[in-house]
Chains A and B, each alone.
Chain A
Amino acid sequence: AQSVAQPEDQVNVAEGNPLTVKCTYSVSGNPYLFWYVQYPNRGLQFLLKYITGDNLVKGSYGFEAEFNKSQTSFHLKKPSALVSDSALYFCAVRDKAAGNKLTFGGGTRVLVKP
């Protein structure tokens, strides 16, 4: 069965500092990996995805993520965090061998302090 782990419930970072949100996954086949962001009282918004090709994927709002097959990780990064990046972030994996359903991690709350 496919699974996703986000080991940190919360990440605190000062505005202007680099931001990293960690994600590891487990699938039986080749993974499709996604990052979503959720602001208070809103639905999830798509940030970026890895399907194939370059291990470094660029997405919305200056975010990027690095796919590492050997470590089964897909960490989300932003070089310089903004207060407005404070939100709940979800990593998700889709495994074709599991019927293409999306499995989400438990979420990581990011707090960017001025």
Chain B
Amino acid sequence: NAGVTQTPKFQVLKTGQSMTLQCAQDMNHNSMYWYRQDPGMGLRLIYYSASEGTTDKGEVPNGYNVSRLNKREFSLRLESAAPSQTSVYFCASSEQLGTASNQPQHFGDGTRLSIL
């Protein structure tokens, strides 16, 4: 039972470098999400995709871009990494955002990203 798979698990970047975080789910979920987790701040939503072909900004979208490649995959891109983007990034998926909004989200194990 793979669930939500994130790659890579760890990454160190230099300021200004670019990188794409990958996420794939095998639960046939329509909705996918990217969060960042920082100490004492819980999880903050970066971007989400309610369904294949759509993406929307969350609470902290600046400095990031996303691509919903197909129903399974949702990638997060840092075009020019900054030290403030050092964080743990989580991808999640759930049933349709709209009518089935009482469904829980399923999370990957995260990507730990350090930017020097």
Contact = CB atoms under 8 A, between A and B. Distances in A.
Contacts of A36: 104, 107
Interface string A84-114: 0000001000101000111011110000000
B58 A101 contact: yes
A43 B102 contact: no
24 contacts: A32-B101, A36-B104, A41-B109, A41-B110, A42-B109, A43-B4, A43-B110, A44-B90, A44-B92, A44-B107, A45-B107, A49-B104, A51-B102, A90-B43, A94-B101, A96-B101, A100-B97, A100-B101, A101-B45, A101-B58, A102-B105, A104-B44, A106-B40, A106-B41
Contacts of B45: 101-102
Nearest to B3: A43
Contact size range, B: 20 to 34
B108 A43 contact: yes
Q: Which of A42, A46, A101, A105 has the most CB of B within 10 A?
A: A101
Given A4-B42, A101-B58, A102-B45, 19 more contacts: A34-B104, A36-B107, A41-B109, A43-B92, A43-B109, A43-B110, A45-B107, A46-B105, A46-B106, A51-B102, A94-B101, A100-B97, A101-B48, A102-B33, A104-B42, A104-B43, A104-B44, A106-B41, A106-B42
Nearest to A35: B104
Interface residues of A, number: 23
